[in-house]
Amino acid sequence: MKKAKRKNEKTKEKRKAGGIGSSFDDFLKEDGIYEGVTARAIKRVLARQLDALMRREEISKTELATRMKTSRAQLDRLLDPENESVTLGTLARAAQAVGRHLRMELV
């Protein structure tokens, strides 16, 4: 109860100071879930990009799995936006298999 009251007081203080609506990132950071949410969002975007490339270039799942030297099951995990258990190596192989490069940076 005290925690909720303190949070409510902080919100009132932000309103007075003109800081309300700072950013969604700040909200996630305050709740301690920013890193997890960001990682899931990146994985979803990459899975959708890869799926779009496969459709555009008419690459079947079987063909892409062969190019990646992996199984269809592994490729299905990679293409599943909800499945977060994908390694950087797998992502890099997938990018290479469709003629792209995986680029990541620390910001």
The DSSP result for 54-78, as a single string, is HHHTT--HHHHHHHHTS-HHHHHHH
Which SS3 state, helix, strand or coil, does residue 7 take? Answer: helix
Give the pair of three-digit tokens for residue 65.
């799995």
Query: What are 26-74's pLDDT values in tens digits?
Result: 888 888 888 888 888 889 999 999 999 999 999 999 999 999 999 999 9
Q: Map out the domains of the chain as residue ranges.
A: 24-97
User: What pTM did the predictor assign?
Assistant: 0.69
Q: How would residue 90 be classed by pLDDT, with cut points 50, 70 and 90?
A: very high
Q: Give the whole-angstrom CA distance, residue 52 versus residue 60.
A: 12
Q: What is the pLDDT of residue 81?
A: 85
Poorest-pLDDT segment among 9-23, 40-54, 58-72, 91-105: 9-23
Nearest to 78, CA basis, from 101, 88, 57:
88
Q: What is the pLDDT of residue 84?
A: 83
Q: So what's the architecture of 24-97 in CATH?
A: Orthogonal Bundle (1.10)
Q: 102 CB contacts (<8 Å, ≥6 apart)?
A: 88, 91, 92, 94, 95
